[in-house]
Amino acid sequence: MPVAHHASRGRQLRHAENFFLRGEPKILYSSSTFRNVPRGQVPEVAFLGRSNVGKSSLLNKLMNKNLCHISKNPGRTKTMNFFAVGGEDEQGNPGRLTVLDMPGYGHKSRTEWGGEIMKYLVGRKQLVRTFVLIDSMHGVKRYDEALLQALRESAVSHQVLLSKVDRILFSRGRQPTQQILQRNATALQQTAESIRDRLDAMDVAGPRPLGEILACSTAASLEKGKWLGINNLRWAVLAATGLNEIRRRPVRLERDKGQEYALEPMPAATEYL
């Protein structure tokens, strides 16, 4: 990767991490029906996934706080849960961004949830992006394909996110050598490309998934406290909502003749998956 691109990517990831660590994330409200959802004042992003795909664990890492209940039993999330993140904004809203945890679909989910979920996804003006979690070990299943088809037909802006990628990268649950990690990373890339090909081949009208296919893990990291892909996901959220502006402070540089001002470079951050 070119040095300039790497430094730019590092600034983006650092900005995204700082945004989600700013302020204390908090739950705003929960609702089982779209009509009871209060009107929002800030951008919203929604997270959807098949039951037991790891959505709650991922959202806890995304927000850096355990606000979503984690259970081994599918279908634990039973309401649409709204969380404020990014700290209070200039208008006094409790968060600059709202993250929405949706009930899971598929095994042990409730049929009526599907109708309420689609009402929100189609009718919510504050919603700017829906992230659809796909289990990296199992790929696109029947329920996933049905949801993705519905999103395209309804022109809902969405992006695909592979969960539990540690099961591919760390196939035996141990920290692999650099050579094995590179080989497993290639396998993960092939998985993402295969899923992209399948999505492109869907015979349905409407906009295709946006952006790159993201990849995350809440069970492994390459650096302490840096969960695989979480900062990349954070940046994708900010880019989707228009909250990705990076401000740099001017600093004074002493020169032989006079004084000049320049932009202070932000420290580069490690680029994660």
Structure confidence by residue, pLDDT tens digits, 52-88 = 899 999 999 999 999 987 655 555 567 899 999 999 9
Q: Residue 224: what pLDDT?
A: 72
Statement: residue 109 has pLDDT above 60 = no
Statement: residue 43 has pLDDT above 70 = yes
Computed on alpha carbons and rounded to an integer, the radius of gyration of the chain in Å comes to: 20
Read off the tokens for 4. 């300039």
CB 233 within 8 Å of CB 61:
no
Pairing of β 26-31 and β 80-85: antiparallel
What percentage of the chain carries pLDDT values higher than 70? Answer: 80
- Name which of 76-90, 220-234, 247-261 the model is least confident about: 247-261
pLDDT band at 255 (very low <50, low <70, confident <90, very high): very low
- Name which of 115-119, 197-201, 219-223, 240-244 the model is least confident about: 219-223
126 vs 52, residue with greater confidence: 126
Statement: residue 139 has pLDDT above 70 = yes
Please state the pTM of the whole predicted model.
0.85
Q: Residue 264: what pLDDT?
A: 33
